[in-house]
Amino acid sequence: MVSADTPTFGVQNFGVYVHWPFCLSKCPYCDFNSHVRHAAVDEDRFLRAFKTEIASTAARAPGRLVSSIFLGGGTPSLMQPATVGGILDAIGKHWTVAPDVEVTLEANPTSVEATRFRGYRAAGVNRVSLGVQALDDGALKELGRLHTAQEALDAVAVARANFERYSFDLIYARPRQTPQAWADELKRALAQAAEHLSLYQLTIEPETPFATLHAAGKLIIPDDDNARALYDTTQDICTRASLPVRFSAS
């Protein structure tokens, strides 16, 4: 899927989002458009489809200056660097790309390795966003993640070595999480962070395995008061670390 957006800024700030809808496994909390394929995904075929969609989107929104490209998922770090390069070339063929364009690729720590990251950089990616989710092995297991906290930190180190700009995601308001435990975890995360972190409160999304467990009383998440305390802790620590806090509806 390709979507293009001219938010409130006008034609000078045009963003292109490309969605890679595959993951190695489906996390039980996640309702994103992401699917597990046990057979290999035909990347050449997907690239041809992306090129067609980019061409038709460009025909509907011609003459734009692309300032931001986001390869999201799913797990785009499962794509070969050549596929990423082909997508970026197609965007460059149909629109003018700003010299200082930000090109972000979402990566799961399970599929991070240095050679592949160098390939993405050579293809034109200049920022990665990693799904770390937690720095606690028990919590990662409960979230259904395939990586440990150390593997996530190793992935952050590979990101830092290859890209000037990187970010990572954490999920808080997890079962049994106290404000003190979250404060300690967030401070450890901030020690590894660059200029941006995405911090999400765990949401129980309809029709996910977590929704079934939650409805059956087998997954207890913080109630509103505790979730509020965890949120306040987040605000407090980020403000003290001089990270301006911004909200997003997604």
Instruction: Round to whole Å and give the CA distance between 94 and 57.
Output: 9
Q: Encoding tokens for residue 64?
A: 């734009």
Q: Which of 205, 215, 236, 240 binds ligand SAM (CB under 6 A)?
A: 205
How many chain residues are in contact with ligand SAM, going by CB under 6 A?
Answer: 15
Beta-strand pair 165-172/127-133: parallel
Taking the complex as a whole, the smallest distance from the CB of residue 152 to ligand SAM amounts, in Å, to 9
Taking the complex as a whole, the smallest distance from the CB of residue 52 to ligand SF4 amounts, in Å, to 24
Instruction: Round to whole Å and give the CA distance between 177 and 210.
Output: 16
Query: Based on CB atoms, which residue is closest to ligand SF4, 32 or 231?
Result: 32
How many chain residues are in contact with ligand SF4, going by CB under 6 A?
Answer: 11
Single out the segment in contact with ligand SAM by CB under 6 A; choices: 14-22, 49-57, 177-185, 199-207: 199-207
Single out the segment in contact with ligand SAM by CB under 6 A; choices: 79-87, 198-206, 213-221, 225-233: 198-206
Instruction: Round to whole Å and give the CA distance between 192 and 186.
Output: 10
Instruction: Round to whole Å and give the CA distance between 167 and 160.
Output: 9
Single out the segment in contact with ligand SF4 by CB under 6 A; choices: 2-10, 24-32, 191-199, 228-236: 24-32
User: Does residue 202 bind ligand SAM (CB under 6 A)?
Assistant: yes
Q: Are 34 and 21 in contact (CB under 8 A)?
A: yes
The vertex-116 CA angle with 124 and 94, nearest 5°, equals 25
N-terminal to C-terminal alpha carbon distance within the chain: 17
Instruction: Round to whole Å and give the CA distance between 127 and 141.
Output: 27
Q: Encoding tokens for residue 10?
A: 């006008």
The one-letter amino acid code at 107 reads A
Query: Within positions 79 to 138, which residues make up the interface with ligand SAM, using CB under 6 A?
Result: 106, 108, 131, 133
Binding site partner of 203, from ligand SAM, ligand SF4, none, Cβ cut-off 5-8 A by kind: ligand SAM
Binding site partner of 26, from ligand SAM, ligand SF4, none, Cβ cut-off 5-8 A by kind: ligand SF4
Q: Are 111 and 78 in contact (CB under 8 A)?
A: yes
Query: Within positions 96 to 115, which residues make up the interface with ligand SF4, using CB under 6 A?
Result: 108
User: Does residue 27 bind ligand SF4 (CB under 6 A)?
Assistant: yes
CA dihedral 33, 244, 183, 133 (to 10 degrees): 20
Taking the complex as a whole, the smallest distance from the CB of residue 25 to ligand SF4 amounts, in Å, to 7
Q: Which of 21, 28, 32, 238 binds ligand SAM (CB under 6 A)?
A: 32
Rounded to whole angstroms, the maximal C-alpha distance in the chain is 54
Query: Based on CB atoms, which residue is closest to ligand SF4, 124 or 131?
Result: 131
Query: Based on CB atoms, which residue is closest to ligand SAM, 89 or 102?
Result: 102
Which residues make up the interface to ligand SF4 (CB under 6 A)? Answer: 23, 26-27, 30, 32, 34, 73-75, 108, 131
